[in-house]
Chains A and B, each alone.
Chain A
Amino acid sequence: MGAENSVCLGIPVKVVELDPSGESGKVDYLGTRVQTGFALLPGIELGDWVIVHAGFAISRLDEEEARETLDLLREIVEKSENDGSFHP
């Protein structure tokens, strides 16, 4: 809900524990293991990166897509440094 209560962790976190049911487990949030529900995201596996909201994982991070966005940003930065349009 807000920054105050970390209901929405917002950033991708890694799944580090999985209960036998697969319905819950723990994610690593900045070094802390946080109990998380996986009932809204079937087929979760250890090592997956997920977005957690209100105690439940709601989306799995797509590493390919993440890489594409980073490549795009890198390209924009390099281009702006080369053509002199960036003045630090």
Chain B
Amino acid sequence: MDLFTHKTAISALLGKIKSLTRSRSSPIRVMEVCGTHTMTVHRYGLKTLLRESGVDMISGPGCPVCITPNEYHEAAIRLVTEREGLILATFGDMTRVPTRTGALQTAVPAPRSAVRVVYSPEESLTLAGKEAGKDVVFFGTGFETTIPSIALMARKARQAGLRNYAVLAALWTIPPPLRAVLESGEVRLSGFLYPGHVSAIIGTAPYEFVAREFGLPGAVAGFEPADILLAILSILEQIEDGRPRVANAYGRVVRPEGNPAARAVMDDILEPADAHWRGLGRIPRSGLILKPDYAGVDAVRKYGLDLAAGSEDLPGCRCGEVLRGVAAPPECRHFAKTCSPDSPRGPCMVSYEGACFVHFKYRDVGYG
């Protein structure tokens, strides 16, 4: 039997959680900052079961496609519609993000230009080898999990002297927005569920400020239902004994020191920069950009892209508030009415990791 999804294990863990919350007057509030956690919480009906056990789960800025602001999507649209002979390669959900200037998927490319969906950064590099007469731009977004792979593409292209390849890098790091969420004081939290695979890269030390400066517990969690519940149990135990820390409930994959080789790749190719997050605004040193040595493969420098300002969100879209944990998807008047995965108003309903998409997809799920 698979203990990570086994019903008896889930029930037993929920029972333990309930016994720790019983004496509390209000539910504890745990923010998850990873779209795949959001997925697990909803797919297995844990959202409801946890609420019945005294724990409210709140989705935070855990979806890279969602937090990528409009100016990036619009710069990508301009590239493929205004430049001839340019292939804009990106992940599938990035092509469907709606903006006031349309979406990549429905944009009409310039002559000999096209939008191509790729499944890995490597595929975009292969494309550049095949399409020697055209420019290939890989529009890559991601957190620390994906960033090293995207950075490697820039290095490989530079080493190979590929002159027709560039990366439009929309790269975001997870610890700074956690600070932004806490400093804003907009949302009351009891603890964080730290992302599993981001932590596999960065380790546990970058979250320590949360416990030290804000006195908030947290635990790194894996992606099976039991993983999530074990991490929540750890958060409750930390509340109980009054000693907040960064626990690691995903030790089989996450080392305390993370993955030093992957971080060395990042440090070699990228440098921190202030960055604009959808919903959260400008956050100091929360993004990574290509170092000047890599200017030749940096789409921003190569094409002189203007990322200063994007257009407003589509009218009524509350994706920004959802990303801050201020609004839950069903609180939006458009949710499941005039906004659905087939006709989304914002990226939170587009991405498979978006809170609105996940709420929509699993809105009738109970664990059974």
Chain A residues close to B by CB (< 8 Å): 1-8, 10, 12, 37, 39-42, 51, 53-56, 58-59, 61-63, 65-66, 68-70, 72-74, 76-77, 79-81, 85-86, 88
Q: Give the top 5 A-B pairs by smallest Cβ distance, nearest first.
A: A2-B352, A55-B120, A80-B12, A65-B251, A66-B252
Does any Cβ of A come within 8 Å of B254's Cβ? yes
Write out the residue numbers on chain B whose beta carbons fall within 8 Å of the beta carbon of A80: 8, 11-12, 15
Task: Say yes or no: A69 contacts B149, CB within 8 Å.
Answer: no
| Beta-carbon contact of A2 and B8 below 8 Å | no
Residue of A41, A54, A85 near B146 (CB, 8 A) is A54
Q: Which residues of B contact A10 (CB under 8 A)?
A: 36, 223
Q: Is B8 a contact of A77 with CB atoms below 8 Å?
A: yes
Tell me the nearest residue of chain B to A74, going by C-beta.
B3
Which of these binds chain A: B182-190, B258-266, B280-288, B315-323? Answer: B258-266
Kindly list chain B residues whose C-beta atoms are within 8 Å of the C-beta of A12.
Answer: 253
**A70 near B259: Cβ-Cβ < 8 Å:** no
Q: Which residues of B are found within 8 Å of A41, using beta-carbon distances?
A: 259, 261-262
B197 within 8 A of A: yes
Select the residue from A2, A61, A62, A70 with max chain B CB neighbours within 10 A. A2
Q: Which A residues are CB-close (under 8 A) to B353?
A: 1-2
Contact of B9 among A2, A6, A62, A77 (CB under 8 A): A77
Q: Give the complex CA separation of A80 and B10 in angstroms.
A: 11
| Inter-chain pairs besides A53-B197, A62-B253, A65-B252, 19 sampled, C-beta below 8 Å | A1-B92, A1-B93, A2-B353, A4-B92, A4-B93, A6-B119, A7-B91, A37-B122, A53-B149, A58-B201, A58-B259, A61-B253, A68-B251, A69-B251, A70-B3, A77-B9, A81-B8, A88-B8, A88-B11
Contacts of A74 in B (CB 8 A): 3
- The total number of A-B Cβ pairs within 8 Å is 136
Given A37-B122, A53-B145, A77-B8, A42:B253 Cβ within 8 A: no
Chain A residues positioned under 8 Å from B254 (CB to CB): 59
Does B60 sit at the interface, judged by CB under 8 A? no
Chain B residues with CB under 8 Å of A39's CB are 152, 265
Among B230, B251, B253, residue most surrounded by chain A Cβ atoms (within 10 Å) = B253
Number of interface residues, chain B, beta carbon within 8 A = 50
Q: Which of chain A's residues have a CB closer than 8 A to the CB of B93? A: 1-2, 4
Contacts of B200 in A (CB 8 A): 51, 58-59
**A51 contact set on B, CB distance < 8 A:** 197, 200, 253
Q: Which residue of B lies closest to A24 (CB)?
A: B122
Interface residues of B in 294-351 (CB under 8 A from A): 351
Q: Which residues of chain B come closer than 8 Å to A81, judged between CB atoms?
A: 8
CA distance A37 to B273 in the complex (A): 28
Residue of B nearest to A11 (CB): B223
Task: Decide if A73 touches B142 in the complex (CB within 8 Å).
Answer: no
Query: Closest approach, in angstroms, between the C-beta of A32 and any C-beta of chain B?
Result: 13
Q: How far is the CB of A36 from chain B (nearest CB, A)?
A: 9
Chain A residues with CB below 8 A from B201, complex form = 58
B89: Cβ under 8 A from any A Cβ: no
Residues of A with C-beta under 8 A to B4: 73
